[in-house]
Structure 1
Amino acid sequence: MVALLLSGCGLTIPTDPNGTLETVRDGELRVGVSPDPPLVVDSAGVPSGSVVALVDRFAAALDATPVWTVATEETLVGMLEEGDLDLIAGGITADTPWLERAGVSRGFTDISGADGRELVMLVPLGENDFLSTLERFLDAEVGS
């Protein structure tokens, strides 16, 4: 009912055509990272670092378990497009070349190891409810 009223007013509610937020909540958050110490450190396929800790907190906020993939950004973006990942995080900056292939969060700088860089995270294109949820979390955790 509310959605119908809002749609009549020209307002849109963020939606996820592929249901990313609904799938992740109380399930698995499939995360891709590329090594970029100290943001992401790869220790035999087990990532750590300040961005990894941030994503762990995001997963916890969704009651989700993070499942990590460590690879190059290009490989990860391909996996995101294929539906094999829900999120890419790490040393990705606001001037990322992936703008046409992924949804991009607002930038944030207030995280250990960013060294003044404006970092962003990537999500599947069109998954706007998931992206909005991520951005609200980032606003609360690291500012925007």
Structure 2
Amino acid sequence: MNSLLKVCCYSAFFSAVGCGIPKDSRDSLEIARRLSLKVGVTDNPPYSYFDGEKARGIEVDIVEAFAEKENLEVEYVKGSETYLVSKLEKAEIAILVGGFKKNTIWKEKAGLTSPYDEDNHVILIPKGENSLVFTLESFLNNL
């Protein structure tokens, strides 16, 4: 009986601790709300590209709709895939758009959202859980 009580206590404790999921050691969503949502944009029309200084494309439109829903200002960072994945790994940008597919070569260095279309396009995100990713995934699932 004593071991059953211990199991129940441990189970209750770990359930209570797990209630804060998703864990967000970087405070990613709060930082995006307080400062801006930093989005990497690589050149891959029609998904993402720059027209002069203006970010454009299908995925840029998705980011804009997400930012509007969450009341976030967006700051776009232009660069190559290699440069922007490096910035993603260092948490210098929050997400990366570029017409990536689920089988991207970058999946070892970056996390991926669930595909948002039938062609398996994804948005690159930092590896691991965070509240920004959770909120973005919820938004993408409702497109």
Normalising by the smaller structure, the TM-score range is 0.7 to 0.9
In structure 1, the residue matched to 2:112 is 104
Q: Whose helix fraction is larger, Structure 1's or Structure 2's?
A: 2
Q: Give the CA deviation at 1:86.
A: 0.6
Cα root mean square deviation, aligned: 2.2
Indicate the percent of aligned positions where both proteins have the same amino acid: 31
In structure 2, the residue matched to 1:112 is none
| 1:1-144 map, 5 Å | 7-8=14-15, 11=18, 13-109=21-117, 117-141=119-143
Distance in 2 (CA, whole Å) between partners of 1:69 and 1:122 is: 14
From the superposition, tell whether residues 127 and 27 of structure 1 become closer, same or farther in structure 2 (CA, over 3 Å).
farther
Q: Which runs of 5+ in 1 are unaligned?
A: 110-115
Aligned length: 132
From the superposition, tell whether residues 37 and 6 of structure 1 become closer, same or farther in structure 2 (CA, over 3 Å).
farther
Q: Give the CA deviation at 1:6.
A: 7.2
From the superposition, tell whether residues 22 and 36 of structure 1 become closer, same or farther in structure 2 (CA, over 3 Å).
same
Q: Give the CA deviation at 1:81.
A: 1.4
Deviation per CA, 1:59-95: give whole Å up to 9, x if none: 1122111100111111100011122101101211100
Distance in 2 (CA, whole Å) between partners of 1:78 and 1:92 is: 16
Deviation per CA, 1:41-76: give whole Å up to 9, x if none: 311232112211110111112211110011111110
From the superposition, tell whether residues 6 and 123 of structure 1 become closer, same or farther in structure 2 (CA, over 3 Å).
farther
Deviation per CA, 1:105-141: give whole Å up to 9, x if none: 10121xxxxxx53111112222432211111000112
TM-score normalized by the length of structure 1:
0.81
Q: 21-30 vs 6-15, which deviates more? A: 6-15
Q: Give the CA deviation at 1:9.
A: 6.6
Deviation per CA, 1:2-34: give whole Å up to 9, x if none: xxx573378561111111111112430000011
Off by >6 Å, runs of 4+ in structure 1: none
* Greater Cα radius of gyration, structure 1 or 2: 2
TM-score normalized by the length of structure 2:
0.81
